[in-house]
Homo-oligomer: A and B are copies of this chain.
Amino acid sequence: MNRPIQVTVWNEFLHEKKHPEIARIYPDGIHGAIAEYLRSQPGIKTRTATLEQPEHGLTDDVLDNTDVLIWWGHMAHDKVEDAVVEKVYHRVTGGGVGLIVLHSAHYSKIFRRLLGTSCSLRWREAAEKERLWVVSPGHPIAEGIGDYFEIEHTEMYGEFFDIPAPDELVFVSWFQGGEVFRSGCCFYRGKGKIFYFRPGHETFPIYHNPTVLKVIENAVRWAAPVERPKPLTIPKAVNVKPLENLS
């Protein structure tokens, strides 16, 4: 793509309005912190969208101008309209929009719809240490990361993480309290690409961590459609004529 990658950072944006201590960490919302970083990177244009906007901010016009959609949700997955989920689903599987799913959005409607599994896991909030190990060092999403990186205080997510085996596994997390987790997972679905990335939380400043932001940037470049426009849907079953003489 010779033009900039167009990113839309979506956030339910409720925690930040309700809890002053979260607003202190993310004064412009989680979406604001991620968007601010991406705007400073070459070849990327970024906008944001939130739950309480009309159509959750994901109008056709916005999606027509989105190459990669980043999704953060936690307490209001059920408030996301099914019609919007279906629209995003078809954009992703049709290959027009790459999707990056962050942290607690493992339970978002769109992620569960795309994967088909429950996406359940173990969890604990104890401000413990996480160390993310690279298990696919040649993968573009691991570019520039080194052997591992650390997050000093985080919520724990542990296995069994009920997802289909990822098409590419990039990171595996170690937690101080004794668990492991498949933390960076690539999926191909239809014509589209999806990346799940575990780090992130509303009460820890994880989206200010430069390595976390670098991984998100790498994922944006990986998930972007190579050329645009693309067909926006996967066709229904189609009855076709033979390509060879059957006689």
Docked-complex contact A135 and B122, CB < 8 angstroms: no
**Residues in A127-164 with C-beta less than 8 Å from chain B:** 128, 131, 133-140, 143-144, 147-148, 156, 158-162, 164
Contact in complex: A122, B243 (CB < 8 Å): no
Cα(A161)–Cα(B193), bound, Å: 17
Q: Is A75 interfacial (CB-CB < 8 Å)?
A: no
Known: A162-B190, A168-B167, A187-B164. A242 touches B178 (CB 8 A): yes
A93 within 8 A of B: yes
- Which chain A residues (54-104) contact chain B, with CB distance < 8 Å? 93, 95
Residues in B whose Cβ lies below 8 Å from that of A128: 242, 246
Residue A107 at the B interface, CB < 8 A? yes
Q: In the bound complex, do residue B95 and residue A137 qualify as a contact, i.e. CB atoms below 8 Å apart?
A: yes
Query: A240's contact among B118, B123, B144, B176, by CB below 8 Å, is which?
Result: B123
Task: Please give me the residue from chain B that is nearest to A42 by CB atom.
Answer: B2
Whether B144 contacts A227 by the Cβ 8 Å rule is yes
Please choose the segment from A11-19, A24-32, A229-237 that sits at the chain B interface, where 4 or more of its residues have CB less than 8 A away: A229-237
Chain B residues near A188 (CB, 8 Å)? 136, 138-139, 164-165, 168
Q: Specify which chain B residues have a CB less than 8 angstroms from the CB of A242 in the assembled complex.
A: 124, 126, 128, 156, 176-178
Known: A118-B234, A174-B174. 20 other contacts (CB 8 A): A93-B162, A95-B137, A116-B116, A117-B189, A118-B190, A122-B237, A122-B238, A122-B239, A123-B237, A123-B240, A133-B158, A140-B226, A143-B227, A144-B227, A147-B160, A164-B187, A164-B189, A165-B188, A172-B182, A173-B180
| Residues in chain A within 8 A of chain B (CB atoms) | 93, 95, 107, 113-118, 120-124, 126, 128, 131, 133-140, 143-144, 147-148, 156, 158-162, 164-165, 167-169, 172-180, 182, 187-193, 226-227, 234-244, 246
29 A-B pairs with CB atoms under 8 Å apart are A95-B138, A114-B116, A115-B116, A116-B189, A118-B190, A118-B234, A118-B236, A120-B234, A121-B237, A122-B238, A123-B240, A128-B242, A131-B243, A133-B180, A135-B160, A135-B161, A138-B188, A138-B192, A139-B188, A147-B160, A158-B240, A162-B234, A165-B168, A174-B174, A174-B175, A174-B179, A176-B246, A178-B242, A178-B243
